[in-house]
Structure 1
Amino acid sequence: MLLNEFLKEHRRVPEQAATTIKLGSTVAKQNEMIAKQQKQIEALTATVQKASDQIVLSKPAPQLVANP
């Protein structure tokens, strides 16, 4: 009985190693995707900031009218 349990567990080790390798690969791909998305976010943020700055600059200055 004990030998059977040992053999069963021993067969699981390669399966677990393969699963660990797959998970490591998945994590690496996700990290790459996160880095790309972060760059895209930074580029979009810069674009929005530039557009916001242009809007602020294009607004005419408020004009004061003297009341008689």
Structure 2
Amino acid sequence: MSPTYAFTGKVAFITGASSGMGLAASPRLRPSRAAVGHADINETAVTDTVKDLTDAGHRPSHQALAPGPVREVA
């Protein structure tokens, strides 16, 4: 049996939201009533992910994108 959590009034922010574990996390957070933000370096993929979740009846609270290109910091 899976545990049930209540995150009413809390925010979950998912990075890498358009694939793998990030993609799997969002629908699983819905029953917990958390506000869910989505971020991914791929703008098209995260936009499609949020649309797919919305079309499936989920209510993603926020959509966030990477602010710019990733760069190396020396």
Q: Which range, TM-score by smaller chain?
A: under 0.3
TM-score w.r.t. the length of structure 1 is: 0.24
The TM-score normalised by the length of structure 2 is 0.22
> Greater relative contact order (Cα 8 A, min sep 6): structure 1 or 2?
2
Of Structure 1 and Structure 2, the greater strand share is in: 2
Larger Rg: 1
